[in-house]
Amino acid sequence: MNTMHIAICDNEKFYRDKIKKYLEKYINLYREISIADFDCGEDLIKAYDSEEEFDFIF
């Protein structure tokens, strides 16, 4: 089974954690997931530009 790679970007840690909990609860039932969280869009863009692959970005 392939791992699903997900990026979460929000400057509020509370909201990143909340989205992460929802995702782990429901997606983990179906497949493995890898979640990276970012507190600013610039860091997300740097990760994306360095060829890090994400299946979903929130």
Give me the residues paired with residue 5 across strands. 34
Tens of pLDDT, residue by residue over 26-40, are 776 666 778 899 999
All residues at 6 or more sequence positions from 14 whose CB lies less than 8 Å from its CB, including other chains: none
Q: The pTM is what?
A: 0.68
Residues 11 and 8: their CA atoms lie apart, in Å, by 10
37 to 1, 7, 26, 34: CA distances (angstroms): 23, 6, 18, 10
Residues with pLDDT less than 70, the chain: 1, 28-31
